[in-house]
Amino acid sequence: MHSEQRTFIAVKPDGVRRGLVGEIISRFEKKGFKLIAIKMLDVSQEQAEAHYAEHKGKPFFPRLIEYIQSGPIVAMVWKGYDVIAGARQLMGSTNPLDAQVGTIRADLALVKEYNVVHGSDCVESAEREINIYFKPEELCDEYENMAETVIEQLDEE
């Protein structure tokens, strides 16, 4: 059985400024994940602190909060089989220098402080982060996604 999940993905302000929104979305689309919500927004202080609550107190926290509010982000919810790990595989390691070539961060970013994309790290974070940025009625899951359909067939066999 394949585990179907949802994850919160954001193109961070540096990714937006650099014109990488389409490139980043394209990688998740091509993989076969299903886009179920998307919007551009300016992150509030409350959203920023809630999003990165686990990092509160770390030396990089103040700059991280400033960074995520330095311009609009493109917030998204993606759905699919093992999408949490799959998205993090596509993104690559936090530090672009540690990320594998071919990943978003290795290919498109230079330093860990400006690494162009965010993705949830587990089911609990995903649900928490989705709720920070989206209302339940903003999720559009009622359409057919081919990759999803194929895996549903596999699970039925």
Residue ranges that bind Mg ion, judged by CB under 5 A: 121
Core vs surface per residue 125-155: b (16+ CB within 10 A) or e: bbebbbebbbeeeeeeeeeebeebeebeeee
Shortest Cβ 139–ligand UDP spacing (Å): 22
Residue ranges of E strands in the chain: 4-11, 34-41, 73-81, 117-119
Catalytic site includes residue 118: yes
Give the C-alpha separation, 16 to 10, whole Å: 10
Shortest Cβ 69–ligand UDP spacing (Å): 13
Shortest Cβ 152–ligand UDP spacing (Å): 29
Nearer to Mg ion, 29 or 121 (CB): 121
According to the binding rule CB under 6 A, does residue 132 interact with ligand UDP?
A: no
Q: Which residues bind ligand UDP (CB under 6 A)?
A: 60, 64, 94, 112-113, 115, 118, 121
